[in-house]
Amino acid sequence: MTPANEEQLRYLLALLRIPGIGPVKLSKILSSTNDLTTLFDSTDRYTLGEGKADWAAVDRDLQWAENRDCAIITQEDLRYPKLLKETDGAPPLLFVRGNIHLLAKPQIAMVGSRNPTPMGHETAFKFAEHFSQLGMTITSGLALGIDGAAHKGALLGKGKTVAVMGHGLDTVYPASHRDLAHQIAEEGGVLVSEFSVGVSAHPSHFPRRNRIISGLSIGTLVVEAALNSGSLITAKLALEQGREVFAVPGSIHSPLAKGCHTLIRQGAKLVETAEDVLEELGALVQYMIPANEKHSLKGRTVLDLEQSYEDLLVDVGYDCTPIDVVVSRSGLTPKKVSSMLLELELKGLVVSVPGGYARLLG
């Protein structure tokens, strides 16, 4: 970075640190001037009526950027992601930790409920694993639930994942995902935020984070979302940005399926397999898929099970199925059904949930 660029970055950080100046107002300021030095007088007392520039905080930002694999990039930086730059309200600055070049790769955003059903969690995990095995980058928000499952699935698939944060990159929220965030950065992924070092998580930050998630990605997949959820905000932003939106349907009785069903009624593509997403995205991602990898995500095979276990598995729904319903469908005794369900759970084909069992992908 040239001294002139370093000076411009310093002024940008100072503007962002002034109370009352957020990314939107900062973008307006930048559109009105080509030289930020003209906004600051010789005594560094520049204000916009909201407060004084915090130069000590700016120094902390720049010091953070000197750490290994950390950077602060502007829209003029060639490393700034092109797709995001094309969107309205793109952040003037991005704080990045990890493999910054990953931001230029085609990405699929995966979002959904923070409290998913076991089936929803499994779906997100397996889809992300499949996408990553085909070379796609998975982008999400590091939240609990579907976000975390997507990141973990991508890592298990030996792929790469992008985590967009709603706070400064010197911390991790939720704290339970601290190890996951470090793993993402250390295994070739990247952490991204528009928020300066020291800025803590706040509810108002997450809708802003969502526009970055969708803006980075060529398509957004929603896996379980209630009405009026943050995931639907992300999907709406993706549509406004001209990106593809996909939704996984669910039970008509599940509140977590209503958001996805709404999206489908509004034109989102109904998704049953990972291949449904890849087919819709077409030539943009097809070149990344080896010929011998063009197969649908069907989940685990159960051909190694005894016929009686395969038959019982059919009697367990993908939503919660009470044991007495399984007993009725199978015609077996409650004791036999309980024993067989335990075996299926140990094999990872069903999961115990409140009120009964639910079938996982298989």
The answer as to whether 143 is a domain residue is yes
- pLDDT band with cut points at 50, 70 and 90 for residue 282: low
Last residue of one domain, picked from the residues 247, 267, 293: 293
- Whether residue 59 sits in one domain with residue 118: no
Residue 266 to residues 171, 175, 215, 269, 322: CA-CA distances in angstroms?
Answer: 37, 36, 20, 9, 33
Query: Is position 300 within any domain?
Result: no
Q: Among residues 267, 293, 319, which one ends one of the domains?
A: 293
Place of tokens 């998580």: 201
Sequence-separated contacts (24+) of 257-266 with Cβ below 8 Å: 257/224, 258/225, 258/226, 258/227, 259/222, 259/224, 259/225, 259/226, 259/227, 259/228, 259/229, 259/231, 259/232, 260/222, 260/223, 260/224, 260/225, 262/227, 262/232, 263/222, 263/225, 263/232, 263/235
**Pick from 200, 184, 192: which is nearest to 217 by CA?**
192
Residue 84 lies in a domain: no
We report the CATH number of the domain holding residue 217 as: 3.40.50.450
Q: Which domain holds residue 331?
A: 307-359
pLDDT tens for each residue of 306-351: 888 888 988 887 778 899 999 999 999 999 999 999 888 888 788 8
pLDDT over 50 at 288, yes or no: no
Task: Among 240, 267, 293, identify where a domain stops.
Answer: 293
> Are 8 and 54 within one domain?
yes
Considering the domain architecture, whether residues 340 and 281 belong to the same structural domain is answered as no
Same domain, 10 and 135: no
pLDDT per residue as tens digits for the range 26-35:
777 777 776 6
Q: Is the dihedral of CA 127, 129, 131, 133 positive or negative?
A: negative
DSSP string, 134-195: TTPEEEE---TTHHHHHHHHHHHTT--EEEE-SS-TTS-SSGGGHHHHHHHHHTT-EEEESS
| Cβ-contact 139, 99 below 8 angstroms | no
- Is residue 139 located within the same domain as residue 263? yes
pLDDT at 303: 39
| CATH code, 348 | 1.10.10.10
Do 189 and 289 fall within a single domain? yes
Same domain, 332 and 276: no
Give percent helix, percent strand, percent coil of the chain, each to the nearest 5. 45, 15, 40
Instruction: Answer yes or no: is 90 within a domain.
Output: no
Chain mean position to CA 86: 19
Mean pLDDT of the chain: 85
Domain count, the chain: 3
Q: What are phi and psi of 33, to 5 degrees?
A: -150, 145
Q: Where are the beta strands (DSSP E) in 194-275?
A: 219-223, 244-248, 269-270
pLDDT tens-digit profile of 124-157? 999 999 999 888 899 999 999 999 999 999 999 9
Which tokens belong to 101? Answer: 């070049």
Mapping DSSP to helix (H, G, I), strand (E, B) and coil, where does residue 60 land? helix
The Cα 226–Cα 262 span in angstroms is 10
